[in-house]
């Protein structure tokens, strides 16, 4: 949900451009989506606004190490160490630094120190395993990879390394077992990529006005990933736009069953219920959406319109004022809306995912 997270952080910055955690959040999203240049600038801005933001220092140092800007990385890391000297991430990032410097022994020492402070960190076990394998300590390396897999069963690189070590040790059956698990993992990841491709294609078709084409892709995504709240929600949104309210309602309800904290599904279900003249039930769902995500201007706008339908002007104006405060550029409609008039419109309780 990177696009959704990015939208939330950017929405916060529209209200308060100097809110350091929002810049940090955007930096993390950029880091996770391999946009390191943009991530670095956001981490730096977070630190400029809040110099004692130790987590921003750590993330910045880690990205700089990966880019081999080692001198700057070390300076940032030492600042982080002054702010939180006992944080297990400090020796972990130091280990990455020494690994990139080619100082294997110091890197080993730092990764071991990180594991002492936080034994449940699979990344530290993985990095330690790599260095031990490189040093020829195969049995110890296998132990670290096993620990990483125990902590994170979907850790493909650890499975692959463990399989290769077991083969070198002549443990053919164990090696094949680890490789089978790695193959299953790859297959699952291929499925995830296909599901996301179908979802993105569906979104693109709906944006072009091809609702039936989009619904077809969303159904395919649900078929491949039947327990995905996001996929059921995407299908529900398109069905609602197509006027298929009963089916849309069932899909939103399924999305909520798989993820009760899916605020967009609650908002969408509320709009469907209102369209079916179950306005009181719809209000409860949209209220839940605003409780789960109190920064969603569209959810508050929808809530305000529904309060008007039940002749509750006080709460209606409060909700609409909240929507306007959250997103000053939001076009708050004071006149009767499509939902109030009984005409189907696009769900407004959550943003449409962007490609």
Q: What is the predicted pLDDT for the residue at 1? A: 63
Q: How many Å apart are CA 61 and CA 143, to the nearest integer?
A: 28
pLDDT of res. 146: 96
Distance from the Cα of residue 247 to its chain's centroid: 28
Confidence at residue 97, expressed as pLDDT on a 0 to 100 scale: 87
Task: Determine the Cα–Cα distance for residues 93 and 23; give it in Å rounded to an integer.
Answer: 21
pTM: 0.55
**99-103, 127-131, 280-284 — which is least confidently predicted?**
99-103
Distance of alpha carbon 286 from alpha carbon 244, whole angstroms: 20
End-to-end Cα, the chain, rounded Å: 11
pLDDT at 197: 84
**Per-residue pLDDT tens over the stretch 67-95:** 778 788 888 888 988 988 888 888 988 89
- Reply yes or no on whether the pLDDT at 331 is more than 70: no
**Residue in the structure block whose two tokens are 């944006």:** 207
- The burial class, CB within 10 Å (0-12 / 13-18 / 19+), for 229 is buried
- Cα 175 to Cα 169: distance, rounded to the nearest angstrom: 9
CA-to-CA distance for 164 and 160, rounded, in angstroms? 6
What pLDDT digit, counting tens, does each position of 27-80 carry? 888 887 767 677 889 999 999 999 999 889 988 988 888 777 878 888 888 898
**pLDDT at 354 > cutoff 60:** no
Residue at token pair 């006005």: 209
Rounded (10°) CA dihedral 52, 55, 58, 60: -90
**Planar angle of CA 345, 346, 347, nearest 5 degrees:** 115
Q: Is the predicted pLDDT of residue 334 greater than 80, yes or no? A: no
Q: Residues 278-307: what's their mean pLDDT? A: 93
Q: In the predicted model, what is the mean pLDDT of residues 286-290?
A: 93
At 174-190, the pLDDT tens digits run: 999 999 988 887 777 77
Q: At what angle do helices 122-134 and 156-168 cross, to 10 degrees?
A: 30
| pLDDT (0 to 100) of residue 293 | 87
What per-residue confidence (pLDDT) applies to 327? 66
| pLDDT range class, residue 344, cuts 50, 70, 90 | very low
Q: What is the mean pLDDT of the chain?
A: 85
Nearest to 64 by CA among 91, 48, 44: 44
Is 11 exposed, middle or buried (CB count within 10 Å of its CB: 0-12, 13-18, 19+)? middle
User: 130-145 in b/e burial notation, b at 16+ Cβ within 10 A?
Assistant: bbbbeeeeeeebbbbb
Tens-place pLDDT, residues 3-25: 778 888 888 899 899 999 999 99
Q: How confident is the model at residue 351 (pLDDT cuts 50, 70, 90)?
A: very low
Minimal CA–CA distance to 112: which of 97, 100, 129?
Answer: 129
Q: Whose CA is closest to 267, among 343, 321, 334, 323?
A: 323
Task: Give the SS3 label for residue 296.
Answer: coil
Q: What percent of the chain has pLDDT over 90?
A: 48
pLDDT in tens, 203-259: 888 887 778 888 988 998 898 889 899 999 999 999 999 999 999 999 999 999 999
Residues of the chain with pLDDT > 70, as a percent, come to: 91
SS3 18: coil
């Amino acid at each position: 949900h990177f696009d959704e997270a990015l939208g939330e952080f950017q929405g916060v910055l529209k209200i308060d451009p100097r809110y350091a955690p929002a810049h940090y959040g955007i930096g993390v999203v950029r880091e996770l989506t391999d946009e390191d240049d943009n991530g670095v600038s956001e981490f730096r801005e977070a630190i400029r606004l809040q110099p004692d933001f130790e987590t921003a220092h750590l993330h910045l140092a880690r990205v700089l190490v990966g880019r081999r800007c080692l001198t700057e990385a070390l300076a940032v890391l030492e600042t982080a160490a002054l702010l939180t000297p006992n944080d297990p991430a400090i020796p972990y990032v130091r280990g990455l630094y020494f690994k990139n410097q080619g100082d294997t022994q110091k890197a080993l020492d730092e990764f071991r120190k990180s594991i002492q402070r936080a034994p449940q960190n699979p990344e530290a076990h993985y990095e330690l395993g790599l260095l031990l394998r490189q040093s020829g300590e195969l049995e110890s390396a296998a132990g670290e990879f096993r620990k990483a897999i125990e902590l994170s069963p979907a850790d493909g690189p650890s499975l692959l390394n463990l399989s290769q070590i077991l083969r070198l040790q002549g443990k053919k059956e164990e090696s094949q077992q680890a490789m089978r698990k790695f193959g299953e993992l790859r297959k699952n990841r291929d499925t995830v990529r296909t599901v996301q491709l179908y979802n993105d294609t569906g979104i693109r078709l709906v944006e072009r006005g091809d609702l039936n084409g989009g619904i077809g892709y969303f159904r395919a995504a649900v078929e491949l990933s039947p327990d995905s709240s996001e996929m059921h929600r995407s299908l529900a949104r398109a069905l609602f736009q197509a006027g298929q309210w009963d089916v849309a309602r069932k899909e939103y309800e399924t999305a909520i069953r798989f993820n009760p904290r899916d605020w967009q599904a609650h908002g969408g279900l509320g709009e469907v219920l209102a369209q079916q003249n179950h306005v009181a039930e719809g209000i409860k769902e949209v209220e839940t959406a605003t409780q789960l995500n109190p920064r969603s201007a569209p959810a508050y706008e929808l809530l305000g319109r529904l309060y008007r339908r039940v002749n509750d002007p006080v709460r209606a104006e409060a909700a609409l004022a909240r929507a306007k405060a959250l997103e000053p550029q939001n076009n708050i409609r004071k006149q009767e809306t499509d939902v109030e008039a009984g005409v189907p419109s696009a769900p407004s309780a959550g943003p449409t995912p962007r490609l």
